[in-house]
Structure 1
Amino acid sequence: LVERLRRARDAAQVAAAVEAHPPEPEGDLEAWRLTREWLRRCLPARLADTPDPRLGLERLSEHLTALEGRLHHQEQVLAGSAADVAHYVRQLRRRARRQVDRLNELLAPIAFGSIAGVRLQMTDVEQMEALLDGLSDQADLFKPGLPIDEALDRLFQRVGGTPGSARLLDYREYFDLQVHVQRQSDPTWRLANPTRMSTGEAIGVGAALMMVVLHAWEAQNRLSRKQSDLNTLRLLFLDEANRLSADNLGVLIDLCRTLELQLLIAAPRVDEAAGNTTYRLARVTTPDGREEVRLTGRRVRAGASLVDRLADPDAADVDFDPPPWRDPPAADD
């Protein structure tokens, strides 16, 4: 009895108490009482309260048979669910492909600088496709004593992957998404490589993708919210633009004109790029000793080249009120 109690679950204290009683009639009765109390806590009430142990064992056998039948039924239901996982993942992947196609439709008219086109390309992962086939078989999912997560890990390893059952249910793991660009001088679509693109082109491609994604979100939001008093104002903020040359800034401005996008950038020489408005803030001290912050603006005409602006600034620039920025004040800008 003591050995069986030691092997039983959560019965270590009962086994120690039974072993501590002396091998006498009174000790045997006490050991039996402790064992019955432990059994009463473990068994269902309608089985534990049976006065006849043989009748209790018979009812327990019937109860276990019913549990086995229920477990077998649940395994069959889960088997059907596991077989549907592959279909569910493929359905999500088809939906993602349709979304990529809609984004490519929005990207079709975009061209700026030397970039003639930008598009997204979606390709299936062959290794993950083998996992979908393995899920359809689901032979490893119902081995006795094998948890579902461990079965999925073994299935993942069997087709050459690393353990990670959560990845099996993430449809994004089943395809690769790449950005391809087409140049004005080459009709071939090539993978967008930042090392082979100028800074302005790289930022422009990223901004184009971001804008079409935002446009898709706005369209989805308009479908879900039929009435909305707020209109989205698309703004692109870019800091540290002093790293960009005038040509790169021109590429960004060309892109923003195509996307009907407002670009706000901070750069000391941004006025060298045509087609933008340059604002300057200056803190000056008035004759009476007060400090003021003065704002001046200058819009560069799109048709004026850098040489023309340097030769005749008045012919290329349109100044705003307050007066144009001519001589900077003595105070620091």
Structure 2
Amino acid sequence: MITLKEVAKKINGKLIGDKSIIISSVDDIFLASKESISFAFLPKYKKAIAESKASAFIVISKEDLKGQPGIVVDNPYLSMIEVLDMFDQRPVPNYQISENSVIHSSVEKKENLHLGPFSVINEDVTIGNNVYIGSGVKIGAGSEIGDDCILYDNVVLYDHITIGGNSIVHSGTVIGSDGFGYHTNDSFHHKIPHIKNVIIGENVEIGASCTIDRGSVQDTLVGNYCKLDNQVHLAHNVKIGEGCLIAGGVFVGGSTTIEDFVTVAGKSDVGPHLTIGKKAVIAARSCVLKSLPASNIYAGNPARPIKEKQERDALYTRFQILEKKLKKNGI
């Protein structure tokens, strides 16, 4: 059993109320029950404290608790991460090699290798220590997997793919397929060979069902500490800098460079042969058709600085209102 006092100590927070309260789970504030702890640092959840059945709350101000027990913290999101880790009951993988898997004789089996059923590792693959490879995974010849990596079920790595240490690739992702490159001549589509590779940096997480194409004239690159959501597509020769966040459903066209610490929100499209400057933010459902300078927020189709977009939207709305008035007056 874990007490509220132990939780407070773990996250270095200020305990308010009964320190002996038992906490057995972490739950949404609207679904919580006795022995639950809930996060209530956003306005929507602060208002729900009074009616919630949770036993305790994590907040950023003592006043938010309104007499309820809880923990006051300075950084609520880091505290959330630590608390969720405390109550993570997902099974810890057993490191073993399934008798129904296939490993080429040239592959060295390092310490703590897990290989699930029906997975295949081809010749000259290099695998680091403490690597977990799920079921139905295919790793092509000459690929390199760094230490402490996780490749979940049904991941496919084509030949000569590099995955940096401490990286995670979720189920159904395909890395290293040919890019979409053709030259049409006399009504015939000539395929452009994709002879380069894909290099994934360290501490990268790639969501489920992503596709990352190999390069034609240069490697496709994903920098250290990048996080890709589910169903992201990176075309051939793309270069993603360090620390980028790319949300679900984003497509990035071939030979585009996204510099360090760029955020691309969900279902946005970035065209080919562009550069997105450092620390730029692309709002959801944007369509980027030209290169964008660093350290600005962009939105719309085509994507433009968000202040400019808002001004255009406001002007369009005023014209709509004026048009309705004119029609109403028979003009």
TM above 0.5, yes or no, is: no
Larger radius of gyration: 1
Structure with the larger RCO, 1 or 2 (CA within 8 Å, 6+ apart): 1
- TM-score under structure 2 length normalisation: 0.19
- TM-score normalised by length of structure 1: 0.19
Whose helix fraction is larger, Structure 1's or Structure 2's? 1
